[in-house]
Amino acid sequence: NPDTKEWVREVEPPQQPEPSSWEYVKVFRDQVLEVSKDDTTGLVTVAVNHQSPEIAEQWVVWLIEEINNHMRERDIQEAQRSLEYLDKELQNTSLSDMQQVFYQLIEKQTQTIMLANVRPEYIFQTLDPAVVPEQKAKPSRALICIIGTFLGGFLSVGFVLVRNIFRKEDEK
């Protein structure tokens, strides 16, 4: 209710009138977000269905940015923890062969941090950017009209037949 700012939907007992974040995620996954992967090429397609094409386009852009940022931060933190561990082990090692191995591992972790900071598209590279569609995707008004016409005609014929049957029985 917009006046009282209260949820007024009727739900079964474990659920509350106000939707939980789990319900938001379920609706978002089932009705809004479409993610598909082509097994032969490895391309991942992300699409968002929304009434507003501008909102759908913006959400796709935000999703890709957030995934890239989250994975970048995770890899940087992991590489920094690895560097700290390798530095400690390097200080405790006096063998030159082991020191050389540690230096190579430190070089790899430093390279990971550098690449994560340099590339804006860290995990997902955008091949075809999100665009606002020029034409409506759904609902198909022509299909709705055709189905409505057939359904209306079918119900009308059924009604007339049933009415005729009852009228004939009344005359007898």
Task: Give the mean pLDDT per block of 10 residues along the chain (172 residues).
Answer: 82 79 84 87 86 86 91 93 90 85 90 88 82 74 89 93 82 69
Instruction: Supply the pTM of this predicted model.
Output: 0.64
What are the structure tokens assigned to 131, written together? 């665009």
DSSP conformation class of 28: I
> According to the model, what pLDDT value does residue 172 have?
66
**Angle subtended by helix axes 96-118 and 53-92, to nearest 10:** 160
DSSP-derived 3-state class of residue 135 = coil
Contact 79, 153 (CB under 8 A): no
DSSP-derived 3-state class of residue 44 = strand
> According to the model, what pLDDT value does residue 77 have?
94
> According to the model, what pLDDT value does residue 158 have?
93
